Chains A and B, each alone.
Chain A
Amino acid sequence: QVQLQESGPGLVKPSDTLSLTCAVSGYSISSSHWWGWIRQPPGKGLEWIGYIYDSETAYYNPSLKSRVTMSVDTAKNQFSLKLTSVTAVDTAVFYCARKLRGSYSFDYWGQGTLVTVSS
């Protein structure tokens, strides 16, 4: 059973860097899949942040590209998100997810973690 679990600080100060990790269990992150991040501001809709295949291949939402970096740690079977220069508008529930192979959708999701940007 594939499981994803987000972790990281629940509170980040404005202008700081938001850092989250997604631990994957029941499946090797090295297997041919894309691993992504999606966020959802409180009471609002979903926004794709980006996804990563391996240490050299990642795609990001153009609106966030200048502030986003994703990485993978195959030894720990996890992947990570860094979002720099955060402001209050970055407050959201952040989900990690696995892209369904052969399709352009996300079949496994973490439970989500709320990150609040506030001083």
Chain B
Amino acid sequence: EIVLTQSPGTLSLSPGERATLSCRASQSVSSSYLAWYQQKPGRAPRLLIYDASSRATGIPDRFSGSGSGTDFTLTISRLEPEDFAVYYCQQYDSSRMYTFGQGTKLEIK
């Protein structure tokens, strides 16, 4: 099973700042198999990025994904008040298994 480790656990920033969230895999992950989600309290996760760098429908262009192999990054270029939430990365592997990272909480500083 591929384990995803997200860092930092909590990120404290102010609106307007740039956020960089990391997701590291215990084994190499195909870029086509890496996704990012945003989750707000009491809500379902929302797909932001799929295939490591493709924005999902309706996602603002301030969200971007990058990376390959074992290291992936979600960047939010300029934080808006509604961006403060928990973010999860997710991967799919050749054993037909999906796993999620433990999440990064993005909080207002």
Contact = CB atoms under 8 A, between A and B. Distances in A.
Secondary structure call for the A interface: loop
A47 B92 CA distance: 12
A39 B52 CA distance: 23
Interface in A87-118: 95, 97, 100, 103-107, 109-112
Nearest to A111: B44
B32 interface: yes
A46 B100 CA distance: 6
17 contacts: A38-B45, A45-B88, A45-B103, A46-B90, A62-B95, A62-B97, A95-B44, A100-B50, A103-B32, A103-B51, A103-B54, A104-B32, A104-B91, A105-B90, A106-B45, A110-B44, A112-B44
Interface of B: 1, 32-33, 35, 37, 43-47, 50-51, 54, 56-57, 88, 90-92, 95-103
